[in-house]
Structure 1
């Protein structure tokens, strides 16, 4: 059980300092079977490189990085709001890499992260959000309870970390 979870926006100057803790969350999720762009075995170096790229994007103002911390200050979850979009979509953002450590699941961490992601998107003047997730996964229920609208699914869109095909379901939410 996780107590006293708080969600906060990571500032541009501190994003790089969170890389190691974020790497732990990503590695745990992939090793637990989450289809989040990485295959097994996931090397620590690959995960660190991913988070370093994210930190650079935060520093350039291209994305918002949110972290969920337990009462000890340990990062147990994260989500990103990708604000850099094409010229004809200044009002849109993508929700990316919503990850919750297996030890922190079913404690409301994902719900808190998504609520804060929506608030951060509004602060960035975004009115349309989109995301995708594994078809049939637990995250679908989370998104639907939070008012996200299912657009549809694409079979065999991606691979699970073990190499099996999985479908992907796309969602949107209007923040008007």
Structure 2
């Protein structure tokens, strides 16, 4: 059985160990998520714990997917804090454990975050990913629009510079009067 649940602030800390395991698995598998190898559980847990204040304040929303009790995926939504940007949000840290890939988890997690963004009043979502990655294919076939590629934008876990694709998705069609 699959569930996708938003983590409240009190639920977040007890999930840090499993979130760290997902992050280590993704980095070990070569995902460009902002970390380089060697990358261990302690470093991953420290990164997640550093996100706790943003979760508590509501600026970062984290969902986890569980299948038969095991955490198999996560996605986060960062709400814009600038007054002139409150109509947009950013998808970050979409991760699916390598043993759970190919079952539609990424799309289910994205749909969950998109619905929540709409409910929060966001009209525009942004994200970035490694050019040519499986994740890029998910976005290209999921209604996202690539608006640019920046060469050598980020390093892979082994330090190799990678191109990065930037995407947006309109959640609502903005009506213009006139």
Residue 92 of structure 2 is aligned with which of 70, 91, 96?
A: 96
Q: TM-score, normalised by structure 2?
A: 0.94
Of 29, 32, 56, 1:59 maps to 56
Give ranges in structure 2 of 5+ residues lacking alignment.
Answer: 173-178
1:140 Cα shift?
1.0
Cα pair 1:64 1:120 within 8 Å, conserved:
no
1:160 aligned residue? 156
Query: Structure 1, residues 97-116: CA drift from partner, whole Å, max 9, x if none?
Result: 00111001111110100000
TM-score normalised to the size of structure 1? 0.95
RMSD value, Cα: 0.9
Pairing 1:1-176 to 2, within 5 Å after superposition = 4-71=1-68, 73-176=69-172
Which is higher, the Rg of structure 1 or of structure 2? 2
SS of the residue corresponding to residue 14 of structure 1 reads helix
Aligned to 2:9, the other structure's residue is in SS state coil
Give the Å deviation of 1:85: 2.7
Deviations 1:55-94 (A, max 9, x none): 22111111110111112x2111101000133221011100
| Structure 1: gaps spanning 5 or more residues | none
CA contact 1:85–1:92 (8 Å) conserved in 2: no
Other structure's SS at 1:15 match: helix
Number of residues paired by the alignment? 172
For residues 114-155 of structure 1, give each alpha carbon's deviation from its aligned partner in whole angstroms, at most 9, with x where no partner exists: 000101111211111000000000011111221001111001
Q: In the TM superposition, what is the alpha-carbon distance from 1:43 to its structure 2 partner?
A: 2.3
